[in-house]
Amino acid sequence: MTSTAGRARQAARNDESILAAAREVFLEDSRAPIAAVAERAGVGISALYRRYAGKEDLLRTLCHDGLRLFIAEAESAQRHPDDWTAFETFIRGVVDADVHSLTVHLAGTFTPTEEMRADAVRANELALVLFERVQPMLRRGAVFADITMLLEMSAAVRVPDPERTRQLRVRYVDVLLDGLRTGAELPGPAPTVQELSWRWSQ
């Protein structure tokens, strides 16, 4: 039975390789041309425009997928009974999936859908719950917005080899989490939530 073979199969494969290529390319350079995505995916430009209405549509899809992954990580980690394990699993999961660099660097390059906004709110709520479970173990003055910054700093760790990038991020997430637990009160005015979400408005 060749019901899903041939052309249809190739199309399904292209679906995936285009998305994977887009993730890679836009992770490297959020302003990369769309032709670079097609090239990395090993397809023509038409294959891309057959699936997405335009560049913005692709970017939005990519970003929304990242958001959903973020939510999935949070929901999964939430089930850990131990507060700190739940929190650490969540952070490491998000960092490892490289969700944050994609969402952050792509922010503002497209107009979000209503569903995306709702998911963003939900993602925030879930992360907040995880944060509040560990807040008593953190340095005095630590606030939820510090977690966003922690993720941002982790995303800044980047070397040419993706596998090495992941290894190094494990290393520095370790540093950041330890630094967030050990020490006196955190210095300076804490970041506010709107200070860190300005990307989305613009």
Q: Does 42 bind DNA (CB under 7 A)?
A: yes
Q: How many angstroms separate the CA atoms of 98 and 154, rounded? A: 9
The pattern of x and - marking residues 121 through 150 that bind its own copies according to CB under 8 A reads ----------------------------x-
Smallest distance from the beta carbon of 27 to DNA, in angstroms? 15
Q: Does 84 bind its own copies (CB under 8 A)?
A: no
Cα 39 to Cα 34, 42, 140, distances in angstroms: 9, 5, 50
CA angle at 182 for the pair 177 and 185, rounded to the nearest 5°:
110
Residue 192 is classified by DSSP as P
Question: Which region among 8-16, 62-70, 141-149, 189-197 touches DNA (by CB under 7 A)?
Answer: 8-16
Q: Does 6 bind its own copies (CB under 8 A)?
A: no
Q: How many angstroms separate the CA atoms of 150 and 169, rounded? A: 11
Smallest distance from the beta carbon of 184 to its own copies, in angstroms? 9
Q: How many angstroms separate the CA atoms of 2 and 5, rounded? A: 5
Residues at the site binding DNA, with contacts judged by CB under 7 A? 2, 5-8, 10-11, 14, 33-35, 42-47, 49-50, 54-56
